Amino acid sequence: MPHAETLPHVAPSLTAVLFGLSGCLVDFGARTRAQGIPSAIHAEATPGALDSLRSLQHQQIPCAWLDELPPALSHSLAAALPSWIKPSQHPETNNPWPAPHACWQALMTLNVERLEGCVLVSGEPRLLQAGLNAGLWTIGLASCGSLCGLAPNDWQALTQQEREFKRGKATMQLFGLGVHSVIDHLGELNTCLADISLRRLKGEKP
């Protein structure tokens, strides 16, 4: 008889998943912030993003995206995303990232009643730090966020060794922040979320 921990149906379901927008769901390499203008390339969904969102929707797990770009810019970037994922544009306040307020505001937008089981996924260190400060589980993205900072074509033009070096360096920086998991891109998200559910089952807290 298998150990109870190996049975996926006993793992607690997630409460909500928050995503960074630029460098996470869209805009591979988070280039919009550096260039200041959106483009069709920037608005393309990153590898695995749409599949991850479909999976979460199927599980009825509420999701929202966050960014601190100007609203017109961020909504232009989000054009490639399904309409059901809620934007949570944090207004200009005295509490910018890495203060936790933007994460809490996003969860309030989703009508989430508890922090338990809430996850933030991002390639932006300051947003991940905000998630940690807010008491969320955090998943860092190594290759498609601002730490590597390369557009898709530039990333693909690197040799395998160069990609591994940049990915490894970004991974160490993200773990240095204290994030709970690091993955390459959103194509690996489902497995990572399942691991977090298992860690919660074992009693681990963020």
Q: For 21-32, what is each residue's pLDDT tens digit? A: 999 999 999 998
Phi-psi domain of 42 (left: phi exceeds 0; alpha: psi -120 through 50; beta: other): alpha
Q: At 37, is the pLDDT very low, low, confident or very high (cuts 50, 70, 90)?
A: low
Mean pLDDT of the chain: 90
In three-state form (DSSP H/G/I as H, E/B as E, the rest C), the secondary structure along 18-39 is EEECECCCECCCCHHHHHCCCC
pLDDT at 89: 63
| Mean pLDDT of all residues in 66-76 | 88
109-162 confidence digits (pLDDT tens): 999 989 999 999 999 999 999 999 999 999 999 999 999 999 999 999 999 999
pLDDT at 13: 87
Phi-psi domain of 155 (left: phi exceeds 0; alpha: psi -120 through 50; beta: other): alpha
The sign of the torsion formed by the CA atoms of 89, 93, 99, 104 equals negative
167-206 confidence digits (pLDDT tens): 999 999 999 999 999 999 999 999 999 999 999 999 999 9
- State the architecture of 17-82+91-160 in CATH terms: 3-Layer(aba) Sandwich (3.40)
pLDDT at 86: 86
pLDDT at 8: 47
The share of the chain scoring above pLDDT 70, in percent, equals 90
Q: At 1, is the pLDDT very low, low, confident or very high (cuts 50, 70, 90)?
A: very low
| Mean pLDDT of all residues in 50-71 | 94
Q: Confirm if 12 and 200 have CB atoms less than 8 A apart.
A: yes
| Mean pLDDT of all residues in 39-58 | 91
Residue with tokens 């508890």: 114
Residue ranges per structural domain of the chain: 17-82+91-160
